[in-house]
Amino acid sequence: MELMVLLNALVTRLLFVLHSLIGVWRVTAAKKEPKYWLLALLNLLLCLETGLTLKFKQGRGYKWFSPAIFLYLICTVPSLWLLEIHHGTQYCGNEPGAVQVNLSNQDFNQSRDSSHGSERTDHHIIQTAKVFVNQLSTICETVWTLALHQTFLLLLVVGRWLLPIGVEITRDQLSQLLLMFVGTAADILEFASETLDIEDVRKNYALINAILAVWTWSMLQFPLDLAVQHIGCKPTASTRRIPSLLLCRYSAELWNIGVSLFIQDGPFFIVRSILMGHFRIFNQMLVFFTAKNILVVTLQLYRLAVITLDFRATILQKSRKGEVGCCPCEPYEASTHAIADQDTEMKEVVAFPPKEESQAPSAEQ
């Protein structure tokens, strides 16, 4: 096993565990009940996955699916649910400079006391750390929750980048996937923060649960790599059906369209429409992002129509040429084979001249 592969696999999962434990700590501090520390036991699943991956896959990833990302969602999403449902009413009056001033005064006092002897250096460091933790605990819960949301989505992208890739996915495909995840994470963060910050939404417990359910549903696209990988097919009898051939040729594009319609923009549009239509909640940003969801859904449907028409034209063209057994799922490979066959025929023509010319001298004799 390569050293860098082992290091990336372990460091990335360690970051996942640490972030999950910070979320559990915030839930315990907000609820003021130690029983919520039991949520930390979910990280045992991630530890088990780490051991199995190192043993059977030598630390590398799987095809089409990332178990580490999926288990990280399981470990972190419950804490964010509890924080959003609790949503403390603590006043956010802590200025960023207040923490620094308090720390500076404490450091000054501790430094003055520690000047009497070097044996108090360790005590000075411990006291400084305690002061820092206490100052972090005074930050209001809404700031903590938003920070956990932001770091959660950033760590999903960075973690997917750091995790070792398998042989089934190339670095070019990984770069495309990461760029998609950045845009997806921004949309998901905007949806959660923009809708849950509405005062009328906070008064409706059922509506909060519905929004969090849609948010959780949209997060399920991160463990999957289908957005950049084609399934591929073989020209067998079972794959000559039109839906199967369409899926073989446009698997990545169809997955992206399905994600937009059924996992992200579609559900987001439904939630925002309910907020405006049923609950009569209107603001400038809500209207803008609703219009944006409508535009994205319309463009995705247009893209689906273009793909269907292009595939239909390919089927008709091949049927007219009599290529019944040819599978249109790999057009580039088919064209490559055709060019190779033409090159072979040209070589045969050059190597063996026509029979009429070779028989002409014998006729004169």
pLDDT per position in the chain (365 positions), as tens?
588 888 989 999 999 999 999 999 999 988 889 999 999 999 999 999 999 988 888 878 887 889 999 999 999 999 999 999 987 544 455 444 444 434 444 444 544 454 454 556 666 777 776 676 666 666 778 888 999 999 999 999 999 999 888 767 788 888 888 999 999 999 999 999 889 988 889 888 999 999 999 999 999 999 988 777 666 665 554 445 677 777 777 888 888 999 999 999 999 999 999 999 999 998 999 999 999 999 999 999 999 999 999 888 888 887 777 654 445 555 434 334 443 444 444 444 444 454 444 444 444 43
Is 85 contained in some domain? yes
Residue 289, in any domain of the structure: yes
The answer to whether position 29 is within a domain reads yes
Looking at the fold, whether 165 and 308 belong to one and the same domain comes out as: no
Q: Return d(Cα 142, Cα 322) in angstroms, integer.
A: 66
Give the chain's largest Cα–Cα span: 123
Where on the phi/psi map is residue 88: left (φ > 0), alpha (ψ -120 to 50), or beta? beta
For 303, which DSSP code? H
Evaluate whether residue 333 is within a structural domain: no
**Cut 0.95: pTM above it:** no
Domain stops at, among 227, 247, 278: 227
Strand, helix or coil at 209? helix
Number of domains in the chain: 2
272 shares a domain with 149 = no
Within 13 Å, how many C-alpha atoms sit on residue 288's CB side? 7
Q: Is residue 109 part of a domain?
A: no
Query: Within a domain: residue 104?
Result: no
Judge contact between 184 and 221, C-beta under 8 A.
Answer: yes
Domain identity same for 218 and 276: no
Pair 274, 242 in one domain: yes
Q: Is residue 178 part of a domain?
A: yes
Q: Which residues pair with 224 in a beta bridge?
A: 65
> How many CB atoms neighbour CB 30 within 10 A?
19
Helix and strand numbers (H, E) in the chain are: 15, 0
Structure tokens at 1: 């096993």
Say whether both 77 and 192 belong to one domain.
yes
Indicate whether 207 and 247 sit together in one domain.
no
Tell me whether residue 262 is in a domain: yes
Reading the block at residue 86, the tokens are 């609790």
Three-class SS string for 76-91?
Answer: HHHHHHHHHHHCCCCC
**183/310 same-domain check:** no
Q: What is the domain range of residue 26?
A: 1-89+139-227
H or E element at residue 73: helix 67-86
Nearest alpha-carbon partner for 221 in 272, 255, 251, 173: 255
Cβ 281 vs Cβ 207: under 8 Å? no
